[in-house]
């Protein structure tokens, strides 16, 4: 069996004290949002960087693929609402996330409870994937380098 490298989290930088954090309410709404999905295992990465994802497409992309549920151009209200909600939370992650470096790429990830969430850095119009992974995923091969230090308010118990 292949030896797994040290996956201990490394903390490097530190953010200014007035770094903005989401409110408890916003964070709970985020938890609520992400709890509704059937997250899909990213099979290609399962032995390297295990994570899960969901897909969400804007109306124009759904239309191009013949998958928009709206039959007329003005009949896309549900499809646009679903997308609006997705973009809101994708931007939330980019706003409040912290920098995490894996190999040569620095991601903006939002750590909530035991997982972190990220989109890639694409413009919102072509941001279709939302990922999650366990912060302390023991099967992850590359070491994560945390460039900031952010502690989110914990879930009420
Ligand atoms: Zn649509």
Q: Say how many C-beta atoms besides its own lie within 10 A of residue 97's C-beta.
A: 19
Ordered mean pLDDT values, 10 residues apiece, the chain (157 residues) = 50 71 93 97 92 95 87 76 96 93 93 94 93 95 86 67
Centre of ligand 1 from the C-alpha of residue 62, in Å: 6
C-alpha 73 to ligand 1 mean position (Å): 7
Instruction: Say how many Å lie between the CA of residue 12 and the centre of ligand 1.
Output: 44
pTM of the model: 0.84
Q: Give 41's strand partners.
A: 52
DSSP per residue, 133-153: EETT-TT--SPEEE-S---PP
**d(CA 31, ligand 1 centre) in Å:** 26
| Ligand 1 center from residue 85 Cα (angstroms) | 14
CA 118, CA 89: separation in Å to the nearest integer?
A: 10
Rounded to a whole number of angstroms, the CA Rg of the chain reads: 17
Note the pLDDT of residue 1. Answer: 47
């Amino acid at each position: 069996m292949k030896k797994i490298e040290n996956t201990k989290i490394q903390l490097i930088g530190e953010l200014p004290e007035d770094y903005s954090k989401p409110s408890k309410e916003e964070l709970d709404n985020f938890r609520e949002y992400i709890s509704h999905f059937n997250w899909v295992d990213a099979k290609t990465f399962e032995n390297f960087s295990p994570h899960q994802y969901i897909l969400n497409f804007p109306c124009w992309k759904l239309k191009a693929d013949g998958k928009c549920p709206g039959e007329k151009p003005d009949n896309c209200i549900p499809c646009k609402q679903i997308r609006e909600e997705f973009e809101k939370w994708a931007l939330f992650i980019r706003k409040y996330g912290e920098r995490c470096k894996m190999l040569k790429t620095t991601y903006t990830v939002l750590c909530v409870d035991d997982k972190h969430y990220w989109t890639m850095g694409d413009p919102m119009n072509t941001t279709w994937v939302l990922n999650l992974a366990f912060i302390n995923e023991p099967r992850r091969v590359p070491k994560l380098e945390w460039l900031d230090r952010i502690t989110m308010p914990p879930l009420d118990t």
